[in-house]
Amino acid sequence: MARIDYTAIKKALKEVVEGAGMSYDHETSIEKTLLFDAFDNVVNIELDSRNVVVESISQGKKLRYQLLVIILVYARHFDQEKASEIRDTLISELEPVLMQNRDLNNTVDTTWLDGGQNIVAYIEDEQAFVSAGEIRLIVESTITT
């Protein structure tokens, strides 16, 4: 049966992130609760939503899915400016890698970047700032029945 393999897409994206050769050490995870166990920097991949793009000429036989994947980049540091600098560096190094590998190692039809938001918060319990940024990635995949 034809289907979209969501798990394979997330795993392929994780492989791309892990192979990006970014400047700062980080943990790469899939839909994980944020814990700064061993790393101060985390890249977390989350499937946010999925939509079907209907093409009337092939309606019922072919479906084109557009998935919204949020790649959340977190940096923790005792200095707010440094936390934001690390976050910005990781994002700026990851975006071109995603642009160069638009089919996620032949897992999907195509992908494209769709912006994202940034935030900084002070975590009292940890006496540190967490600077978070998202990369919104649209992933397109087609199934034919």
Whether 116 is covered by a domain: the verdict is yes
CATH of the domain at 62: 3.30.70.1700
80-103 burial: b if 16+ Cβ within 10 Å, else e: eeebbebbebbbeebbeebeebee
> How many independent structural domains does the chain possess?
1
Whether 1 is covered by a domain: the verdict is no
pLDDT for the residue numbered 34:
72
For 22, the domain range is: 6-144
pLDDT for the residue numbered 143:
87
pLDDT for the residue numbered 102:
95
pLDDT for the residue numbered 91:
97
pLDDT mean by block of 10 residues, the chain; 145 residues:
87 95 92 72 95 72 90 95 97 96 93 96 90 97 85
pTM of the model: 0.89
Whether 19 is covered by a domain: the verdict is yes
